[in-house]
Copies of this chain bind each other. A is one copy, B any other.
């Protein structure tokens, strides 16, 4: 592979007879040149076969067009689809993404942020949850978080409260004897806590017998299966003969629970109604399609980048006026009624 020598500003200056400053102005502030001079330089670029060197441009105007992304993992479909939608915004906004997998390791994530800062990223999208928002805000660059603690930074989240209300109301409409919400222990400052609050509020308002079961399900399929198997035995024992409406906090757990029921009873028993959350592919592709609350991931991603771009554009002004308060946007979820609550089978 032979290396062709790059055409530099010096070469263009020599070729056109303009000063290097004029060439630089052509790239960074073309309107400051006459149209005629712009055309002379444009022709020279073609004749010299000039390849744009963004790295040089960055040094000239400080705009890298980089956004850093830190995401916990890509195994969870919610995250991989969110990253997919974030990357697709390139077509609209033109920003490039430097992506790191956080793996829930706080120290690694701090290193990644330092690395990103050293590349002069213009903004940061954080989906991982290890670093407190107060610390993120201190980085002094535009930041948007998605579905994590966000007190001191801007964020875009699903309207988790409405999702909880939608799921619980659907179960309530089916006249269950008891409503049960299964979730991991969730702090009230996490957006996903809204699901729990929505469940509790609907149950209280309609005076329904209910219970929230907090359970750590684990990170591997085997751990989840073991913990959900335990849960199934518990529910079968404590609520025998009752019609149970289960709101499970995500579709992966809901699917495993349903498969355990099928394994035990040969089918989904009629005293179990189940709804998940997220609308993961598994919810639609399961042998018994799973009712769920769908997150509008495309909208969340677009709004997150859009909110970041607004802040980044402000930073480029001569006298930037930073936001006085962090902006928090919420996106409406969509209820999807499928076989695990509608029982047409």
Known: A55-B55, A59-B56, A285-B252. A90 touches B100 (CB 8 A): yes
Binds B, one of A74-82, A203-211, A330-338: A74-82
**Total A residues in contact with B, Cβ cutoff 8 Å:** 59
A75 to B84, CA, bound (A): 8
Given contacts A90-B100, A101-B87, contact A59 B55 (CB under 8 A): yes
Closest chain-B Cβ to A169's Cβ sits at a distance in Å of 27
Given known contacts A74-B81, A74-B84, A287-B286, is B140 in contact with A2 (CB within 8 Å)? Answer: yes
Report how far A209 CA is from B92 CA in the complex, Å.
Answer: 53
Q: Does A97 contact B (CB under 8 A)?
A: yes
Question: Within 8 Å of chain B (Cβ to Cβ): is A16?
Answer: no
Whole-angstrom distance from the CB of A28 to the nearest CB of chain B?
15
Nearest opposing residue in chain B for A288, CB measure: B287
Q: Is B97 in contact with A99, judged by CB distance below 8 angstroms?
A: yes
- List chain A positions with a Cβ less than 8 A from chain B: 1-4, 51-56, 58-59, 64, 73-75, 77, 80-81, 83-84, 87-88, 90-91, 96-101, 103, 108, 112, 115, 117-120, 140-141, 221, 252, 255-256, 258-259, 262-263, 281-282, 284-288, 315, 320, 322
